[in-house]
Structure formats: structure tokens, C-alpha cells
Amino acid sequence: MRYIFVSIAFILYFTATLSSAVYDVFSNTNNIYYSTLNNVTNSFTLNNNSSEEDPLSVISLLFERSVLGSTSLPGVTYSPDVKSIDGVNGGNAILLPNIKSYVKIDNYIDGDFKYFYNTMTSFTLEFYLNPHRLRINSQVLSKMAIYNDNGVTKYSGIRANIINGRLVWQFNNLFSYNGVYTNITLSEGEYLKEYEWRHHSISFDASTGKLVKYIDGLEEQVVYLTSTGDETGSPYIIEFDNIKLDPLYLGQGFTGAIDSFYFTPSYKQNFNLYKYTENGDIVSKVIDFENNNTFIDSINYIGSFTNGSNIDLYYRISDYYFSPDDNNIAWERLLYTTNLISSSSTRYIQIKVVLNSNADRNITPILNNVSIVYHHAKVPQVPINLTASSIDGNSVILKWEGSHENISGYKIYYGTKSGVYNDAQHTPIIVGNQNEYIIEGLIEGKVYYFTITAIGGEDGNSESGFSQEVYVRPVSLK
């Protein structure tokens, strides 16, 4: 995979406190999000070298290095000198180093391929071409057959040759009207240049009879294969019966490179000729910090972008678990000026990175890593010096010392057994930021055990550990 290396790096750092931790959202274990490019590990690029719908799109595997030297693609053979080089839109192209080099694509024996030819009416052939030598007659593509027509030997098929500096398409005995075949040649268009990538395509619309030669997605020549020779006539039909069992050759006369070859059973007017997609999303799993009082100190990324490409970060949080594809929780854009999220604390978070290529879609941003710096909320200090004294037979007074830092109140726990506080009514008792409290309604002569915790901390709702337990027997002092 190839990309244009960018020179401006946008790197956000956060100096965390000693209690903070770092969670790597996209790391070596999440290889699905990354490709390794030009020795930059853990990077993501908006590669546009892919096909979508066609049964013959598997032919594009020819242009990947893994196929060369293997037998993993049925029906494909090639001369031993064929090489793999950098392609025009990422990935790899094939290099035909001399006029004897070739790639041969035999008729597939599976049902899909046969169905493809038997039902195809409209079609598109397309590829990128980079001629290294402009010879007088260089054969780039050929799918030809010899057949007998009432004792006359005839040729049928498709050729694409470089003739006098142009790519010329020839169709022999494929198109017919009322049983009469015709030969078609499309030779107009721009002249080719050596060592220059251009996108070439030929497309036929069976509904109108329109046959178009494209270069770089622009119409170079249009022919109407109709009864009147224009768009008003009845269209010709194309018949593949004579050639469907014969191989298609790339090369055998051409010196140069070919990339992104597709044979599509439909008429195409628009071609995706951009190097990169317009944008691409990378979405993390839902991350669980296992603590509802987790503070996100910052969300940081290390990446590179330039010349109009950019990286946007989004996040969404919740105190409750949500599905990774949940549409009910809105995404919020990370504020680059502060690198902080808008909410104070959370338990669950999900990250989305949007990579945007530049306007010409020939430069991609590169993402290396996204990390979250976080810490769990600091709890208040445990109260100390708790004492309990009897006031009368039904009341006791508790006194203690607490921290003055981030304290909003206290919880008083008590019961009639040591360490068991759920047998007392209305426990715990929540009081404000004070240092003593009178508990009434107790049973005279019964022993009660007490402990307290502090409420507050960083989020205002955290609870400290239990203080030392004390006990007292309420008795009348009269």
C-alpha cells in the first residue's frame, strides 16, 4: 500500500498527574484499524483501491503481490518475468517488462462466471495503463477467438492496442443487428505518454447502443451502435458466444504497467479515479473503566496531515453500557483547543476518528494512535477520632474529626452488632459538613456500634472508607 508521506505532524500531549493512567484506544492488538505504511507502524490510510459488486472483481487480485508466485487465483497464469510494482491508487500493479510478458485469464469453470457471460448485455472494461515504451503496435488487451461461419474463417473478440501513440479499441464480430455483424474501431482521444498513468475504459449501454471510449473518466469518442447510427435507432446487441470460452490476455506486445483491471457487466458513466476516499471512520469498541467515577483528563492522538487533509475526533460517554452501534447516544466533537471532554466523569466511552482526505483526494491523513488519559475520582479522607457518648437512655452524641478538603457531608452507620449496620432503622444517616450529631430513638441499655464515612471527593459524590468503629450503651444519667 502506498501513500504520500506528510511533513507536518499534529501531536497532542497531556502531562498527567502521578495517579493518572493511559488507555491506548487503537494499539497493536487492534490490527483491523491499521496498515503498516513506509515503516510507520500503526497507521491508517484511506486506500481507494477496491472493488464492490462484480463476480469478476476477483481479477483485481492479480495486482496484489500475494498472488504473484502463487496459484491462489484459479484460471490465471502469467509469464515468469511479470513483476509487482507500486500501483496508481495504492496496492500493487503488474509490470510487463517486455513484449513477450503476459497475464492469461482463462474462462472460469465455476457457475458464476458462466452466468456472467450468458446474461451480460451491457459491459465496461477498465484499467490504468502506464506504458514504458510506445511501440508502433503494442497489444495491451486481447480476448479473441477464431470460428467458422459457413466455411469462412472469421475472427471474433476485443482488442486494445497502442497504435500511433493512442490506445485503440477494436471489436470484431461481436455487435450485430438483425443477424448481421459489424466491426467497430475507436481510435480517437489523447496521445499517451511514456511513464504516465492514465485510466482507460470502454463501456457499452445495451439499452441505447451507446459505446463510449473514456480516458481519465472523460468521453473521448462516442459511437451509437444502432440501426440509424444515432441515439434514435434500435440498438445493436452484443454476443459473447464465440469468445466466452477463450482466454483474455493482458500484454503479449506491451511493455509497461497495468493496474485496477475490471470487467463489469454494466454500463458505467462515472469512475472513481481518486487516490483516496473522501473520508473514513475508525470506531473503537465501548471502553469500560469499571468505575462510574472515572475522570477523563484528555483524549490525545498522534497523527499527520497536510495540504487540506485533516483528522476529527469524536467521543460519546455514558454511565451505563451501550452497544457499539447504538444510535441513541450522540457523538460529541473533541475540542482541539483544550483536548478535554465536556462532561466531568463517566464509566463508558467510545471513540470515533474521522480521517478526511484533501479536496483533490490525493493526500490522506495518517493516524498513529489515540489514547485516553484518565483517573478514578479521588475519594475523601477517612474521618478520625470518632467518639460516642450517651446523653440519656435513648440518645447518644457522636463527635469526629474530618478533612476540610472536598467534603460535602458524612454518612453515619450503626447497628447492634459489630460490623453489622443494616439492622438499625434509617441507616446510614446522611448529615451535612459538620463534626457532631445526636442520634435519638435508641433502646436504653442496648449496646450500639457506630462508624462513619465522608462524602465528597473530586466528583462530590464519592464515599471514603469506614472510620474506626466505636460503641456505647445509652443509659439515663439521672
Q: What gap in Å lies between CA 336 and CA 325, rounded to an integer?
A: 25
Residue 264 has φ and ψ, to the nearest 5°, of -115, 135
Q: What gap in Å lies between CA 282 and CA 289, rounded to an integer?
A: 21
User: How remote is the C-alpha of 405 from its chain's centroid?
Assistant: 46
Identify the residue whose cell numbers are 464480430: 173
What residue ranges of the chain have pLDDT lower than 70? 1-19, 27-74, 89-91, 107-120, 336-338, 344, 459, 478
Predicted pLDDT at 216: 93
pTM of the predicted structure, to 2 decimals: 0.59
Predicted pLDDT at 355: 86
Cell triple for 398: 457522636
Predicted pLDDT at 13: 30
Q: What gap in Å lies between CA 442 and CA 423, rounded to an integer?
A: 12
Looking at the DSSP assignment, which residues form a beta bridge with residue 276? Answer: 47
List strand residue ranges (DSSP E) for 241-377, in order: 248-251, 256-264, 279-283, 287-288, 294-304, 310-318, 332-333, 345-346, 348-356, 366-376
Predicted pLDDT at 52: 41
Predicted pLDDT at 337: 63
- Over residues 107-127, the pLDDT tens digits come to 654 444 444 455 568 888 889
Say how many C-beta atoms besides its own lie within 10 A of residue 224's C-beta. 19
> DSSP string of 356-404?
E--TTS----EEEEEEEEEEEPPPPPPPEEEEEEEEETTEEEEEEE--S
DSSP helix/strand/coil, 433: coil
Q: What gap in Å lies between CA 294 and CA 375, rounded to an integer?
A: 6
